[in-house]
């Protein structure tokens, strides 16, 4: 073991050791219950490393390897790189891809090692604090900054206010030059509080919308534009601080050629070296629509029309992972929207997440199994529906979010005079945001539910829906049509995103429901804002202006108050 002289990291870990003895620190130990090992090298990872154990089972920090078995996750850094990541001078994903940050063990455990574990800045900035007397000025700045930064940014959520925007609809592929058209909107999206834009499937496809992918590496055959236009769009997004999320279709592929028997069973990847070129051997043998497949049985639901691929095949796993990483490094994507994840096992999603380390990923886990009574109306209790999504998230490694379909189903109905539905038996929101908000992406409509009218939100209640999701925990998503094509909801939506941002409302925010009746829903979020939807005007004692709040924005049947 090397000397720890002048390691900037050790001062932070000493501070953490002290913090874990406090009441707040004991709560962290109780909540996390995991053991981490941190290896800090003065010059090069693997050489003269100083090992620290952060035991969040016992609430201890000590120098030396973990003696109680195998730690849940191990991080390795050079001391300087650790500082760069912590200060935001090096993107953690870049650090990971370049080998400047190495992770071993459980990625699910690694994602729980967040800034929440460390003491807040107020606890270390006072000059009388003992650490302040033993820490150099440079190290002190490092400690202060670290409390705001994330060593491992692969969280299944956003700890700071974030808003996703779907940058297309079902008909966008038919309009020509979509990438170039969307590029002109990026400045406005950035000024409207959008942090992430979900882009359509980028590859060649047998269907113009992109969901029947063929040559995955061929980005010039997309109906939305060519590769250079896509890269230019993403560069513009990055210049404005917006992350690019690719719509990824992994479950199925479309053949591009017929074999000698006239069967469409030849699949090409779009490169000269044969990557992702394959035949029937990589198609699931139990795909009834494509009985020529000779691969292993499907690990998920069958998708009609196109061929379900065998994700248990090591070659396919490697080549799909390489393609995804190419989309990141060569094209500039920051994360994924995973299409039709019920089509393959949750362990497959976990594998691709581990191999590609996206900055953010959201999955479309959608089953039409919402609970209804004999009258065809939704049952009030939808715990089974949301618990199924939670179980899938956990089985997929806990590092991917999912669209909150439970909230979508309930909110669709609730705004039609049944706002009592927005409170579960525990007094919490009834959707995924009520039990696992950090992993929930809420939405009003998308290219399926809105454009194709598969589960449309009531048109005249759209702003009530946005007043709900843009003030509540989870990561809210705004649909292209509502913001640009409709025109009229734009300013109210912008007002809501601004309120969310300046009050720091995020995926982990707390909700206290004040009222949930047929014509009134009110909630206090983080004790910073109070929101209301519903036609009732007489709020009585619930009127926020009686308790140090003022109106921040309002419209037909909705309002938001901010604390004075």
Catalytic residues, which ones? 339, 364
For helices 383-395 and 405-414, angle between their N-to-C axes, nearest 10 degrees: 160
How many residues would you count in the chain?
Answer: 564
Please state, in angstroms and rounded to a whole number, the distance separating the CA atoms of residues 444 and 166.
11
DSSP letter at 544 equals: G
For the chain, the maximum distance between any two Cα atoms, rounded to a whole number of angstroms, is 82
Nearest 5°: phi and psi at 342?
-70, -10
335 DSSP β-pair partners: 245, 360
Please state, in angstroms and rounded to a whole number, the distance separating the CA atoms of residues 370 and 406.
8
| Residues in contact with 330: Cβ distance below 8 Å, sequence separation at least 6, in sequence order | none
| Residues in contact with 169: Cβ distance below 8 Å, sequence separation at least 6, in sequence order | 447, 450, 451, 479, 480, 481, 485
DSSP letter at 58 equals: T
For helices 346-356 and 383-395, angle between their N-to-C axes, nearest 10 degrees: 50
Structure tokens at 16: 């953490």
Distance (Å) of CA 186 to CA 191, 277, 475: 9, 36, 20
DSSP 410-451: HHHHHTTT-GGGGS-TTSS-SSGGGT-GGGEEEES--IIIII
Please state, in angstroms and rounded to a whole number, the distance separating the CA atoms of residues 309 and 216.
14
Structure tokens at 256: 């591009």
Please state, in angstroms and rounded to a whole number, the distance separating the CA atoms of residues 419 and 411.
8
- By the 10 Å C-beta count (0-12 exposed, 13-18 middle, 19+ buried), 242 is classed as buried
Please state, in angstroms and rounded to a whole number, the distance separating the CA atoms of residues 498 and 492.
10
DSSP 137-174: HHHHHHHHHHTTS-S----SS-SS---EEE---TTGGG
Please state, in angstroms and rounded to a whole number, the distance separating the CA atoms of residues 267 and 494.
45
Of 158, 230, 236, nearest to 200 (Cα)? 230
């Amino acid at each position: 073991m090397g000397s720890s002289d002048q390691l900037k990291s050790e001062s932070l870990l000493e501070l953490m050791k002290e913090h874990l003895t406090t009441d707040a620190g004991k709560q962290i130990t109780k909540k996390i219950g995991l053991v981490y090992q941190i290896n800090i090298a003065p010059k090069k990872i693997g050489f003269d490393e100083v090992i620290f154990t952060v035991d969040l089972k016992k609430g201890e920090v000590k120098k030396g390897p973990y003696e109680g078995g195998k730690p849940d996750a191990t991080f390795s850094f050079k001391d300087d790189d650790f500082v760069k990541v912590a200060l935001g001078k090096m993107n953690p994903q870049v650090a990971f891809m370049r080998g400047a940050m190495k992770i071993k063990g459980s990625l699910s455990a690694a994602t729980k090692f967040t800034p929440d574990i460390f003491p807040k800045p107020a606890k270390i900035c006072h000059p009388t604090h003992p650490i302040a007397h033993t820490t150099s000025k440079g190290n002190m700045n490092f400690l202060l900054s670290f409390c705001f930064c994330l060593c491992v940014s692969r969280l299944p959520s956003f700890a700071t206010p974030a808003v996703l925007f779907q940058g297309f609809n079902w008909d966008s592929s038919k309009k020509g030059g979509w990438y170039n058209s969307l590029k002109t909107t990026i400045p406005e999206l950035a000024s409207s509080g959008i942090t992430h834009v979900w882009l359509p499937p980028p590859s060649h496809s047998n269907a113009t919308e992109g969901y029947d992918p063929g040559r995955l590496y061929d980005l010039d055959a997309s109906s939305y534009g060519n590769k250079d236009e896509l890269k230019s769009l993403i560069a513009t997004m990055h210049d404005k601080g917006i992350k690019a999320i690719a719509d990824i279709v992994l479950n199925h592929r479309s053949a591009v050629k017929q074999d000698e028997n006239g069967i469409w069973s030849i699949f090409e990847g779009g490169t000269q070296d044969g990557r992702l070129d394959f035949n029937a051997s990589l198609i699931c043998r139990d795909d009834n629509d494509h009985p020529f497949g000779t691969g292993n049985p499907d690990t998920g639901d069958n998708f009609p029309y196109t061929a379900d691929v065998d994700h248990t095949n090591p070659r396919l796993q490697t080549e799909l992972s390489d393609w995804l990483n190419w989309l990141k490094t060569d094209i500039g994507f920051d994360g994924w929207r995973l299409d039709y994840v019920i089509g393959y096992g949750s362990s497959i999603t976990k594998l691709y997440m581990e191999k590609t380390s996206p900055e953010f990923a959201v999955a479309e886990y959608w089953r039409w199994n919402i609970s209804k009574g004999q009258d065809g109306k939704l049952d009030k209790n939808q715990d089974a529906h949301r618990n199924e999504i939670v179980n899938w998230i956990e089985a997929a490694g806990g590092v991917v979010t999912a669209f909150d379909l439970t909230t979508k189903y309930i909110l669709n109905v609730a705004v039609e005079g049944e706002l009592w539905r927005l409170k579960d038996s525990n007094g919490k929101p009834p959707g995924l945001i009520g039990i696992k908000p950090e992993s929930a992406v809420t939405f009003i409509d998308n290219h399926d539910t809105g454009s194709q009218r598969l589960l449309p939100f009531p048109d005249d209640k759209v702003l009530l829906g946005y007043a709900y999701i843009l003030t509540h925990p989870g990561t809210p998503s705004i649909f292209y049509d509502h913001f640009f094509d409709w025109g009229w909801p734009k300013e109210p939506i912008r007002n809501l995103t601004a309120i969310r941002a300046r009050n720091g409302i995020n995926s982990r925010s707390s909700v206290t429901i004040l009222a949930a009746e047929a014509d009134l829903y009110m909630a206090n979020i983080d004790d910073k804002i109070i929101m209301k939807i519903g036609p009732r005007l007489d709020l009585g004692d619930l009127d926020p202006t009686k308790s140090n709040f003022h109106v921040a924005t309002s419209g037909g049947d909705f309002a938001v108050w901010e604390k004075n």
